[in-house]
Amino acid sequence: GAGVSQSPSNKVTEKGKDVELRCDPISGHTALYWYRQSLGQGLEFLIYFQGNSAPDKSGLPSDRFSAERTGGSVSTLTIQRTQQEDSAVYLCASSYDGPYEQYFGPGTRLTVT
Amino acid sequence: DAKTTQPPSMDCAEGRAANLPCNHSTISGNEYVYWYRQIHSQGPQYIIHGLKNNETNEMASLIITEDRKSSTLILPHATLRDTAVYYCIVRVRAGGTSYGKLTFGQGTILTVHP
């Protein structure tokens, strides 16, 4: 079946602009996660949605970052007033509820110039 | 979160078994051990996970010690395509039936050579 998809695959933006990154999870998965990976760095958790529960936003690095999940499916990660340090690959993953494996998308490579 | 310790790098000859160790001495009773790998420029790929019993699937085997303080991922016949960063992760229960985020460390860079 279809895996996790993300768009765009690449995004180049100017410092100070807002960007939106999209994630389409695997159908039926109730949990959705956002991570990011900066050049030469490990994978860093950003935010986690689980069903109708309040999202776990503990990984968001600043209030310029926000995310929403509409209808329990598609999610959008928004970065306002982008900075050069926001340049990274942003990865989305989804899973069933419980101790099940997370399936990752291919990521969106964001470059802030 | 329970912390894991992995060697930074390992080498393996093609066709031989690759045994990747992981220490997780502070693991709690309801925390699972997961293994993921990341091949260059791709998203992480799930390999296997377990709680206390040994597990095997089409990709690998996971051996967890009886005290659960360490585990070993075994790739039985490594190929060049298995060259990747391998992450051992202990996943904390978030509440109810939810297990929440994965906390990735630095992982082990496995290089499979001809």
Provide DSSP, A43-56.
Answer: EEEEEEEETTSPPB
CB contact under 8 A, B102 and A102: yes
Tell me the residue length of chain A. Answer: 113
Q: Does B2 touch chain A (CB under 8 A)?
A: no
Length of chain B: 114
Q: How many CB atoms are located within 10 Å of the residue B19 CB?
A: 15
Q: How many CB atoms lie within 10 A of CB B79?
A: 12
Quote the pLDDT of residue A1: 59
pLDDT of residue B40: 87
- Chains A, B: CB pairs < 8 Å: 59
> A23, A22, A17, A7: which is closest to A102 by C-alpha?
A23
- Report how far apart, in Å, the C-alpha atoms of B85 and of each of A69, B35, B45 are: 30, 11, 10
For each of chain B's 114 residues, which pLDDT tens digit applies? 568 999 999 999 999 999 999 999 999 888 899 999 999 888 999 999 999 989 999 999 999 999 999 999 999 999 999 999 999 999 877 666 667 889 899 999 999 999
Q: Each residue's pLDDT tens digit in chain A (113 positions)?
A: 589 999 999 999 999 999 999 999 999 999 999 999 998 778 999 999 988 888 999 999 999 999 999 887 999 999 999 999 999 999 999 999 888 899 999 999 999 99
CA distance A69 to A63: 17
- pLDDT of B41 reads 82
Dihedral over alpha carbons B30, B90, B93, A3 (to 10 degrees): -120
Is-contact B88 B6, C-beta < 8 A? yes
Interface contact B101-A106, CB threshold 8 A: no
The whole-number pLDDT of residue B38 equals: 95
CA B81/CA B61 separation, integer angstroms: 17
Closest-CA distance, A15 to chain B, in angstroms, reads 24
